[in-house]
Structure 1
Amino acid sequence: MLELAITKKLKNFSIDTAFNVAEEIVVLFGPSGAGKTTILNCIAGLTNPDEGRITLNNRRLYLSKEKPIPVQKRNIGYLFQDYALFPHMTVKKNIDYGMKDKALVHKLISVIGIEHILDRYPQQISGGEKQRVALIRALATEPEALLLDEPFSSLDDKTREECQRELLRLHSIWKIPIIMVTHDYKEAEMLGNRILLIRQGKLEK
């Protein structure tokens, strides 16, 4: 269970939001600049709220006036919009970075079907392939929660649908809290067990 109740002042408004995520996919949906990515960054530890608390499986990641748990100790997978693959590393080395269980990685590679590109570099593979590699890399750390920031926005329709199905299939196996940001309501309806509408940092009822 991922639980948060945070406030954070941004340039034009303040984030003031609270919600819980169990073993489900929760979609943060709303216009650009609503604070969705900032909420993900606070959960991941890339930035900190001004006040509040964030807990994951009863482990305190952030609490006002306490020293926050650093990024690398939060055990949270984060799939960025641009995938953030290391350009100087092969696909295999990208996936192995932070890997905890070699058998699990072999299984993920097989399930997602990227055996044929393991020796290639990121600039030699397609957008859909990069997305799959980034997803495996995020899961290879055996995270307790997964954050997805517009992960399918740059893909063509066919590849996007394939990757959406793979995410649902992996989540059915790996029942961890997933929080996903998207601007696509159709995608939100397809993937989300719940959709949270966010405008200017606040949840709309």
Structure 2
Amino acid sequence: MLTVAIQKQLPDFLLDIEFCLNDEIVVLFGPSGSGKTTILNSIAGLITPDSGRIQLGDSCFYEQGKKPLPVQKRNVGYLFQDYALFPHMTVEQNIRYGLKPGSGLHLASLLATVGIDHLVQKYPHQLSGGQKQRVALVRALATEPDILLLDEPLSALDADTRRECQDELLRLHERWKIPFLLVTHDRDEANKLADVILTLDNGKLIQQNKSRGAKLIPSL
């Protein structure tokens, strides 16, 4: 279980959020600038909250008054909005970069999981948006994370590719059985993917809904 209870002063408001996450897909939903990415970055260790606590299982990532756990010790997979692929590396090299020494995972099975095994020698500039998204997703999973953070990973895709990748995320979550915490401001995407939807506005949790597929989110 991931437990987050943090405060962080941002330029326009105080982020003050508290929630728990089991092995499910939780969507952080809300308008741009509501604090969603700050929450992901706090969990990943890219920024430090002002106060509070972040804990995943028995591992305390952050607690006020104590030294935060270093990024490399958090075992967090992070899929960024721009995918952050290394442009000078092939698909194979990008994914191998994430593989842990002695990992029981095999590159071929990872690639086949999302149907990109034919792209191993391609470079990022040779890939479509959907292909880049799949490569970045496999690279994040190759680290064998305890939790996967996804910051609007589908926002740049066309509608058809976006639907395909949403289905891919649901299938991968069913297989990997780890917590997924996903940021979006797309209402339909949140309703399709989420087991739990946390709606934020100006750094505050204003609504919490459960049950994937139900049309739960009103217009903000």
* Matches of 2:104 and 2:125, distance apart in 1: 25
Q: C-alpha distance in 2, partners of 1:17/1:200? A: 11
Runs of 4+ in 1 over 3 A off after TM superposition: 102-105
Equivalent position amino acid for 1:97 in 2: Y
Q: Which has the higher contact order (CA 8 A, sep 6+)?
A: 1
Counterpart Cα distance in 1 of 2:150 and 2:75:
15
Counterpart contact for 2:105–2:142, Cα < 8 Å? no
AA of the residue aligned to 2:9 = K
Give, in angstroms, the shift of residue 91 of structure 1.
Answer: 0.7
Aligned to 1:138: 140
SS of aligned partner of 1:53 = strand
Match of 1:55 in 2: 55
**Aligned: 1:2 with 2:2:** yes
Q: Distance in 2 between matches of 1:195 and 1:173?
A: 21
8 Å Cα contact 1:8-1:15 kept in structure 2 = yes
Provide Cα deviations, 1:33-83, integer angstroms capped at 9, x if missing partner.
001000100000000100010001121010001110111110000000000
Structure 2 residue 200 is the aligned partner of structure 1 residue 198: yes
8 Å CA contact 1:36–1:181 kept in 2: the answer is yes
Report the Cα offset of residue 134 of structure 1.
0.2
Structure 2 stretches of 5 or more lacking a match? 208-220
Aligned equivalents of 2:74 and 2:38: distance in 1? 17
- Which position in structure 2 is the counterpart of 1:103? 105
Q: Which amino acid aligns with 2:110?
A: L
Aligned amino acid, residue 44 of structure 1: A
Q: What does the per-residue CA deviation read over 1:80-121, in whole Å, with 9 as the maximum and x for residues that have no partner?
A: 000000001111000011202363432221121111111011
Q: Which residue of 1 aligns with 2:40?
A: 40
Secondary structure in 2 matching 1:204: strand
Query: Which runs of no fewer than 5 residues in structure 1 stay unpaired?
Result: none
Taking the aligned partners of 2:137 and 2:106, their CA distance within structure 1 comes to 13
Q: Among all aligned residue pairs of Structure 1 and Structure 2, give the percentage whose two residues are the same amino acid.
A: 60
2:166 counterpart (137, 160, 164): 164
Q: Is the 8 A contact 2:87 2:125 kept in 1?
A: yes
Which AA in structure 2 matches 1:114?
I
What's the secondary structure of 1:197's corresponding residue? strand
Deviation at 1:157, TM superposition (A): 1.2
Give the aligned CA root-mean-square deviation in angstroms.
0.9
What is the distance in 2 between the residues matched to 1:103 and 1:35? 34
Code of the residue aligned with 1:106 in structure 2: it is: A
- How many Å separate the matches in 1 of 2:170 and 2:178? 12
Query: What is the rounded CA distance, in whole Å, between the counterparts of 1:42 and 1:181 in structure 2?
Result: 14
Shift of 1:196: 0.4
